[in-house]
Amino acid sequence: MPSALKHLSILAFASDLSKRLPKDKDDTEVAASLLSEVQTQMQSIGRYADKMNHGMTGDEDLEREGTNLWNLCTRLNRAFTDKGQKTSPAFRLVLAGRVLAYQILHLCQWSSKNTAHITTHLMRIALKAAKCCTGSFILQRAADYHDHLKQLAQVPGQDHDDESTRLEAEWTAMRIVLAFQDNQLVVAEHTFTNVESLLKRVRPQSAEKILDSLFQVGKGLLIKHDYPMAEKWLQRAWDLINAQPLPDISRDAIELRMAILQGLVTALIGLQTGESIERAAEIFDGDAYGSIIRRMIRSFRPNDTSFKLLCHHIHVLHTKCPGIGYSVIDDFLTSLVQTCNQEWIDAVVVKRIDMATRYRDIEGTVDEAHKSLSRLMGKPLGSEASFAAQTLIWKKVNSNFNQAQYHMADKWCLLGLRDEFANSGPTNKAKLERSIFFSMPQETQKEPMTQYLLYRVAIRSGYIEMASQCLNNVAESDIGFEFLYACVADSQRVGEKVTIVQAMKKLAETYDYERPERVHLPALRRCTIMLLHGLLGSDEKVDKDGVVMDLCSMFEDVATAVQKEPKGVDGAKLFDIRELEWFCQNAYNLGLQHASDWNLRNVVRMLTACVELASHFPDDIAAEMASDLSLRSIFCNFLIASALVALARAGDNVEQQLQDYLVARRHIAVADHQIEMRLQDENIDEISAADLKARLAQLLAFDFEAAVELKRYSELSEIVLKANQCHKVEPFKAMADCALRNNLPAEELFSVLRKIINQIAELSDSDSIKLAKYTRCLFQVTLPLDEELGSRLLNETHTMVKDAYRVSESDSKIMTTHS
């Protein structure tokens, strides 16, 4: 029972702490009270964990709560570190919470029967916890983990992996430093006995941590003026760092080596013995050497020999003491500026950049290089020197980029873009400018904010292609919608119409119908259409055909969107009657206005969109609007059919021709039905009725032609009979010519041509000459099939010739010749 109560108590406290930490940590009084509770709980759990059989090993609930608390405290700790608030009460509370989380994880995970994997995990978090709490119980547990790992390594079949070795090195380094801080040098000495063998097994990064711990002990002893012990520990660090393989030494290790050497010299001097002074004297005296070179600079005689001699000594000084070397060469550059010898100035600047790029980066390195170049007072270097300097800088940028040191890469890029290197040529400058962007992490480059800023630069620099790519990247992002708005607004400020249109198109393409609150779709489409139409009449260098196609696509997209019936936040349809009327009317006007100067396919697309939009008006609209829509739809279908027939006649692709005829027949059928409905209206006037019949007559002629081309011969007779209601002879003439021109089968030609002749004969304004011609053709087709029928047709032809003779004597002669 006590174990169960303790278990519930720990779970409740950990869960409650996870909830309270984020909000209570900023209240000083509450944080102090909570810190006291956490410390009490830490002590309680620590005592309980020391029991042999506490019964909580392997408890999943404790492991979950402990892990959640650990992760939470890690995030909060990182936030405090970034803000530089490491001394606040809230920070101490977070550290205590982290230690408590470790206590809980130790309680539920530690056992003498643990595997190497679990023990390694516990040792890792123990070392992290020890950095924020140097309590002996954590170090003791880390020692227990370490001993357990050593025992496991001795078991056959168990390998001592790299992670275990790394943790052992980190534990050793921390144990040495903490032992020194606790004034337990005996413990530090005992721990050091294992260092030499450990350094042979660990990776360079772990070795550097151990060497740094030795240096920290030596430096601490120097501060206490304990020079004998300081010399002992620093000498150990010096010997061990020199024993490391040279290729494995990092830039940080090089700096550490210099710091160890400096500390060792200080300790040797502090001993004040003959032997120690002699050893210290053997170390290079950079200040003295620099002073001598400065005197040489002050007495410099402008000749090549003196110049080369000074450059050599500055190089030697820099290899021994880089910091002093920078200072001396800057003084030399200042001296040379006064001589106005451009060749020497170029050489020294290139040498100065070379020196700056050779060593590990720190903030001051680039800043000092900027100050050095400012001594030139903006005067550009020669082309060769500028190119050489920027090449060195580019290599440094590339190195920083490969090491993910993006901030330093950016600083070097800015150095390379200084006016002093203006003569390097546009290629090098562009390469560095691009490097500023590419020096960012890949994730940062792809962020909508980065792409938006790059877009702003691109449109101001005239890089329209890059601006388009940025728009694509922003549009593809899940959170890029607001940035597209910003792109549109920025393009308007700059006056870049093409990119404005591109941005508006991207906005329209990325519209989410399920989230209407983000944008008003009709307004977005209207603005985009108006901008596209404005480009057609502007002097902008744009692909006008491409703009026309974009316009058609916009209206087609609107027609598609209307079918989905999107609704606004208030539940009302986004495309109400006013919106439908605007899009429908403008599609109609554009189609009519540009029917003669646009590609006919684009005219068909625009008018088809108009017909689609007209079909989505509600049924309860006013009678006047319904009448206007009906007429508009009739005229659109008429123009679409006419355009498709024209395209079919001019086309070379047989399959496309047939498709055009097929689509034309569909629009003709719709127009036919709509015209019939209007002709049945009792209020229609004679002029309107005559106009509609004339259009229907033309459409039926087109329908006849399309049916012939599609070999729908069985439908020809019906089309001829339907044309009779138009009371026009022109469509029959067109049908007859089409029938004769296309070599119909004899039976089909006889049937349809006979009907056409009969219909022409019934009309008062029939053309007797044409009628005779068609009759003669019909006779020629019929005679081989049926002589009696042919004889009857011959008599009818004779009658037609007499009628034609009364009209015109000249025409009579022509008809007689044909007979």
Please write the tens of the pLDDT for every residue from 318-343: 766 777 888 888 888 888 888 778 88
- Exposed, middle or buried: residue 730 (CB in 10 Å: 0-12, 13-18, 19+)? middle
pLDDT, mean of residues 669-684: 84
Q: Is the pLDDT reported for residue 141 higher than 60? A: yes
Would you state the pLDDT for residue 281?
A: 60
The answer to pTM > 0.75 is: no
The end-to-end CA distance of the chain, in Å, is 127
For range 499-519, the mean pLDDT: 63
Enumerate long-range contacts of 558-567, CB under 8 Å, 24 or more apart. Answer: 558/522, 558/525, 558/583, 558/609, 558/613, 559/609, 559/612, 559/613, 559/616, 561/513, 561/521, 561/525, 562/612, 562/613, 562/616, 563/616, 564/513, 566/513, 566/516, 566/521, 567/516
More confident residue, 466 or 693: 693
734 neighbors 723 (Cβ within 8 angstroms): no
DSSP lists the bridge partners of residue 573 as 567
Q: At 479, is the pLDDT very low, low, confident or very high (cuts 50, 70, 90)?
A: low
Comparing 560 with 440, which gets the higher pLDDT? 560
Q: What's the mean pLDDT in 810-815?
A: 43
Which pLDDT score is estimated for 155? 62
What is the spatial distance between Cα 598 and Cα 606, in angstroms, rounded to a whole number?
Answer: 11
Residue 393's pLDDT is: 79
Report for 80-89, 422-431, 592-601: range of highest mean pLDDT: 592-601
Mean pLDDT in residue range 766-786: 66
Is residue 219 scored above 80 in pLDDT? Answer: yes
- Higher pLDDT: 508 or 78? It is 78
CA distance 521 to 566: 9
Q: What percentage of residues in the chain have a pLDDT greater than 90?
A: 7
811 pLDDT above the threshold of 50: no
pLDDT at 610: 94
Q: Is the pLDDT of residue 601 over 90?
A: yes
**What integer pLDDT is reported at residue 1 of this predicted model?**
43
Task: Look at 699 and 471; give whichever has higher pLDDT.
Answer: 699
- Domain positions in the chain: 1-155, 286-440
135: confidence class by pLDDT, cuts 50, 70, 90: low
Over residues 242-261, the pLDDT tens digits come to 777 766 677 777 778 777 87
Q: Are 204 and 248 in contact (CB under 8 A)?
A: yes
> For residue 309, with 0-12 CB atoms within 10 Å meaning exposed, 13-18 middle and 19 or more buried, which class applies?
middle
Average pLDDT of span 368-379: 78
Which pLDDT does position 766 carry in this prediction?
56
Lowest mean pLDDT among 8-12, 79-83, 179-183, 294-298: 79-83
Residue 804, pLDDT > 60, answer: no
- On average, the pLDDT of the chain sits at 78
Of 429-433, 492-496, 798-802, which range is least confident? Answer: 429-433
Residue 70 structure tokens:
């650990």
Q: What pLDDT does residue 134 have?
A: 54
pLDDT class for 810, splitting at 50, 70, 90? very low
Tell me how long the chain is: 819
**Tokens for 368?**
């000092």
What is the structure's pLDDT at 9? 84
Kindly write down the DSSP assignment for every residue of 52-117, as one continuous string.
Answer: S--S-TT-HHHHHHHHHHHHHHHHHHHHHHHHT-TTSHHHHHHHHHHHHHHHHHHHHH--TT--HH
Q: What integer pLDDT is reported at residue 637 of this predicted model? A: 92
More reliable by pLDDT, 147 or 300: 300
Radius of gyration of the chain (CA): 47
| Among candidate residues 509, 412, 503, the one with its CA nearest the CA of residue 451 | 503
Range of lowest pLDDT (29-43, 72-86, 165-179, 485-499): 485-499
What pLDDT does residue 636 have? 93
Between residues 188 and 317, the one the model is more confident about: 188
| Least trusted range by pLDDT, from 3-12, 164-173, 494-503 | 494-503
pLDDT confidence band for 573 (50 / 70 / 90): confident
pLDDT at 87: 62
Q: Which amino acid is at 132?
A: C
Question: What is the number of other CB atoms lying within 10 angstroms of the CB of residue 536?
Answer: 15
pLDDT > 60? residue 2: no
* Structural contact between residues 215 and 266, judged by C-beta atoms closer than 8 angstroms: no
> Residue 790: is it exposed, middle or buried by C-beta count within 10 angstroms (0-12/13-18/19+)?
middle
Give kind and range of the element (H or E) at residue 454. helix 448-461
Asked if 438 contacts 401 with a C-beta cutoff of 8 angstroms, the reply is: yes
Q: Is the pLDDT of residue 641 over 90?
A: yes
Q: Between 347 and 116, whose confidence is greater?
A: 347
pLDDT of 42 > 90? The answer is no
pLDDT at site 803: 58
CB 346 within 8 A of CB 385: yes
Alpha carbons within 13 A on the beta-carbon side of 324? 20
Higher pLDDT, 224 or 763: 224
Helix (H, G, I), strand (E, B) or coil at 161: coil
What are 263-299's pLDDT values in tens digits?
Answer: 887 888 788 788 887 776 666 567 766 787 888 888 8
State the pLDDT at residue 814: 39
Number of H helices, E strands in the chain: 39, 0
What was the pLDDT predicted at 307? 87
Q: What is the rounded CA–CA span in Å between residue 721 and residue 732?
A: 10
520 vs 736, higher pLDDT: 736
Instruction: Give the pLDDT band of residue 638 (cuts 50, 70, 90).
Output: very high
What is the arithmetic mean of pLDDT over 27-36? Answer: 82
Which amino acid, residue 483?
F
pLDDT at 816: 39
Return the closest-CA partner of residue 235 out of 270, 260, 209.
260
CB atoms within 10 A of CB 777: 16
Using the predicted structure, report yes or no on whether residue 607 has a pLDDT greater than 80: yes
